[in-house]
Amino acid sequence: MARTLLLDLDGTLVDSVPDLAAALNRLMAARGLAAFDHAAVTAMVGDGAAALLARAFAARRVVQDAAALGEFLADYTENAAVETRAFPGVEEGLRLLAASGWRLAVCTNKPEAAARALLAALGLEGSFAAIGGGDSFPVRKPDPAHLKATLDAAGGLATRAVMAGDHHNDVAAAMGAGVPCIFCAWGYGPAAMGVGAAGVAASFAELVGMAEALLPAG
């Protein structure tokens, strides 16, 4: 049977906090609000752009204005790959997985347009059969329907699948869908977020080996 690996984006495939922080801080500066450092933005990432902004404005004890999300998304989409880079081993790992017959898909809470723009800028978009963003379907992670819809879009609803990500949303969505999850320890989520995962990978190369072990070819 065919095998599909679903991958989270931020904190799993790419280190995107530098560009997320830059766009967020430009938004804050335009409103006379203090900037956030790298660690603060890292702690707020994982549930999509709307949640990131909600947390940021709450941290500054200011009511978010109606234009903020649109401004942030436009700015970030245009500047998503200024400093963002794929994590070590990602490009080689994706090539190895594809050569082994894996179908690859991205399942992220990042808006689809921003995800596609980022992956295209990094030369990675062509690696994936589908990109399921946070606004691609009526639901998003941790709802397992987001994972299932992305899997369906990749043409693999009836195939064997594994999810990989660095956030509790990834583990929860996978568990809800009856799909094993590999927790990515190099990402943004603390180790406690990996509770319930089928395994913990310390590097993308290790993730490749774990995926093969969970779902051997044949």
Residue 213: CB atoms within 10 A of its CB come to: 12
Per-residue pLDDT, 71: 98
Per-residue pLDDT, 108: 97
Two tokens at 63?
């009511």
Query: Which H or E run contains 164?
Result: strand 160-165
Q: Do β-strands 85-86 and 14-15 pair in parallel, antiparallel, or remain unpaired?
A: antiparallel
Interval 183-200: pLDDT, tens: 999 999 999 999 999 999
Q: What one-letter code names the amino acid at 77?
A: T
Q: What is the dihedral of CA 126, 132, 137, 141, to 10 degrees?
A: 180
Give Cα 155 distance to the centre of its chain: 20
Per-residue pLDDT, 218: 73
Interval 149-175: pLDDT, tens: 999 999 976 679 999 999 999 999 999
| pLDDT above 90 for 2 | no
Interval 48-105: pLDDT, tens: 899 999 999 999 999 999 999 999 999 999 999 999 999 999 999 999 999 999 999 9
Average pLDDT of the chain? 95
Query: Which sequence positions are flagged as catalytic?
Result: 8
Domains and CATH numbers, the chain: 3-15+84-214 (3.40.50.1000), 17-78 (1.10.150.240)
